[in-house]
């Protein structure tokens, strides 16, 4: 499968959609997609391309995992746009697959603010079988991807929706959160019990179902004669479940969540599809990196596909290499996760090359 310089075709006519947005349109032709089976976790990357907004220049790269980012999403195509700079950028990124008649097989769009070296995209962009089943898509076994990248001006990043500012919004938000926390603590009108390590949490089906599609499916009595009144959780600790429920009800974590529970919440967030919880955990972990925990956090970020957090860990390690290699965790990482050590070594060796 091709990933050389000629594969990515950047449209030479860069469009100024408005005075505040610059649009880049480009295509990527991947030869031999149909016959290539690289396996989960194998990445095909485009060459880097540059964007310029004012005096700031940023470098970008497409990362494609034809057989999924890891074994949990085996059978899906994973795709991201990665930014190589420390500049904050507000972007809208879309990717489409067209057939030979120029009809869209699939198109996805996302709008994100990117800080530091980070990425935007999809762990499950589409099923690989969906592409292979449409003979009008893979012409001669090749796959053509069409991308659009809108980059907003710095003013939009720094001053989003100032005219919509509501001075009472924060007060109302705190009031709602406090009321929901009280409801969880008191268990008033609860209709479901969650049992963990001989401890019981009295919760509400409607709230859990509204916040998590997994709970919604679990609690919907389509194929049962009676409804569920109790759920036992055996793979998350009591403290982990307590923090998860606190977030489900209030949208926030307690002020001093421990590192042990924080790492556990990554798993709980993915199990119950609480994507905002996962994002919050990533931010907290990134803001509390140190020599003692960075290797463990890196392993968690890699396991749960948190690209931003993984990049932050690699940047931290590259600036504190000698100290971190003395940690016991470094030996454990080499023994149990040699692929992660290879990633660290590659990151260090390419550190200068990644700054064009």
DSSP result, 34-74: TT----TT--EEPPPEEEEETTEEEEEEEEEETT-SSGGGT
What class is the 8-152 domain? mainly beta
**Domain residue spans in the chain?**
8-152, 174-274, 289-347
pLDDT digits (tens, 9 = 90+) for 151-164: 887 655 444 443 34
pLDDT attached to residue 174: 76
Asked which of 118-122, 216-220, 322-326 is least confident by mean pLDDT, the reply is 322-326
Pairing of strands 230-232, 192-196: parallel
Encoded tokens for 228 = 């569920």
Mean pLDDT of the chain: 80
Question: What is the reported pTM?
Answer: 0.53
What CATH code is assigned to 289-347? Answer: 1.25.40.420
pLDDT attached to residue 170: 59
**If 0-12 CB within 10 Å is exposed, 13-18 middle and 19+ buried, where does residue 349 land?**
exposed
Give the highest mean pLDDT range of 14-23, 31-40, 64-73, 182-191.
182-191
Pairing of strands 76-83, 56-65: antiparallel
CATH architecture of 174-274: 2-Layer Sandwich (3.30)
């Amino acid at each position: 499968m091709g990933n050389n310089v000629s594969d990515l075709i950047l449209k030479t006519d860069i469009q100024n959609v408005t005075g505040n947005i610059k649009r880049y349109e480009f295509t990527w032709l991947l030869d031999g997609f149909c016959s290539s089976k690289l396996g989960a976790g194998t990445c095909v990357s485009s060459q880097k391309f540059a964007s310029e907004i004012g005096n700031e220049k940023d470098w970008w790269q497409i990362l494609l995992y034809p057989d999924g980012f890891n074994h949990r999403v085996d059978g899906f195509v994973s795709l991201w746009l990665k930014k190589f700079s420390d500049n904050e950028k507000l972007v809208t990124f879309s990717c489409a697959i067209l057939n030979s008649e120029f009809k869209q097989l699939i198109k996805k769009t996302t709008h994100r603010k990117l800080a530091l070296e980070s990425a935007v995209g999809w762990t499950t962009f589409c099923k690989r079988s969906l592409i292979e089943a449409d003979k009008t898509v893979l012409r001669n076994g090749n796959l053509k991807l069409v991308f659009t990248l809108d980059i907003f001006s710095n003013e939009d990043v720094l001053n989003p929706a100032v005219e919509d500012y509501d001075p009472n919004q924060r007060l109302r938000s705190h009031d709602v959160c406090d009321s929901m926390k009280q409801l969880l603590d008191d268990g008033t009108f609860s209709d479901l019990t969650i049992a963990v390590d001989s401890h019981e949490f009295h919760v509400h089906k409607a709230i859990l179902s509204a916040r998590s599609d997994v709970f919604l499916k679990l609690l919907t009595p389509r194929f049962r004669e009676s409804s569920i009144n109790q759920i036992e959780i055996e793979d998350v600790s009591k403290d982990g479940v307590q923090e998860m429920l606190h977030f489900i009800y209030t949208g926030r974590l307690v002020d001093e969540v421990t590192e042990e529970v924080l790492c556990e919440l990554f798993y709980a967030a993915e199990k119950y599809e609480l994507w905002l919880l996962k994002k919050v955990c990533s931010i907290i972990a990134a803001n509390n990196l140190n020599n003692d925990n960075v290797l463990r956090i890196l392993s968690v970020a890699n396991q749960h596909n948190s690209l931003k957090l993984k990049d932050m860990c690699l940047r931290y390690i590259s600036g504190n290499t000698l100290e971190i290699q003395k940690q016991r965790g470094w030996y454990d990482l080499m023994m149990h996760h040699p692929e992660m050590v290879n990633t660290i070594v590659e990151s260090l060796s390419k550190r200068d090359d990644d700054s064009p």
